[in-house]
Amino acid sequence: MEAKTPSASIAILTDLVLPSETNPLNNLFGGELLARMDRAASISAGRHSRRIVVTASVNHVVFSKAIPLGSVVTVEAKVSRAFRSSMEVYIDVWVEDRQSGDKTKANEAIYTFVAVNETGNPVVVPPIKPETKLEKQRFDAALRRKQLSLVLAGKMKPDDATELKALFM
């Protein structure tokens, strides 16, 4: 299968924060942001694989900045690495300043999607060829993150997580 670039899988969702999507502090509710990120990441994984994709795991989420009511929020998702049937999707979340239009990074997250056929069985996806420095960094670290996710899910023995263990040696 021919390799594809991360930018070929880019998915960008821009939307407002409405009153029904906020917590008692009038900031965006975490679960709403998780859902927006899941949607963008699903579109991205689908663009890369051109298959049905399902969320296999949410590997990492950082809610580093609260996002106030009325904000314009942009969720940008790109496949950072593809394995056999699974894809790591990296998501960056930006908040736009109403007056200047400048965008500030608010959050980021990493999801794993698996491409499946009509009966839900995993199918092979094209590899990823990273281009930019950031894409290469994310690509290189993705194998360690996959191993950590599999160890935490009880699907891999810690002893077999060679690249992950190398971080601590």
**Residues lying near ligand COA in the complex (CB under 6 A):** 54-57, 83-86, 112, 114, 116, 120, 122, 146, 149-150, 153, 155
From the CB of 129, what's the least distance to ligand COA, in Å?
A: 17
Residue closer to ligand COA (CB basis): 94 or 113: 113
From the CB of 117, what's the least distance to ligand COA, in Å?
A: 10
SS (H, E, C) the chain: CCCECHHHHCEEEEEECCHHHECCCCEECHHHHHHHHHHHHHHHHHHHHCCEEEEEEEEEEEECCCCECCCEEEEEEEEEEECCCEEEEEEEEEEECCCCCCEEEEEEEEEEEEEECCCCCECCCCCECCCCHHHHHHHHHHHHHHHHHHHHCCCCCHHHCHHHHHCCC
Residue closer to ligand COA (CB basis): 67 or 126: 126
From the CB of 50, what's the least distance to ligand COA, in Å?
A: 16
Residue closer to ligand COA (CB basis): 9 or 85: 85
SS (H, E, C) 129-148: CCCCHHHHHHHHHHHHHHHH
- Give the total residue count for the chain: 169
Residue closer to ligand COA (CB basis): 6 or 17: 6
From the CB of 148, what's the least distance to ligand COA, in Å?
A: 9
Residue closer to ligand COA (CB basis): 94 or 111: 111
From the CB of 158, what's the least distance to ligand COA, in Å?
A: 15
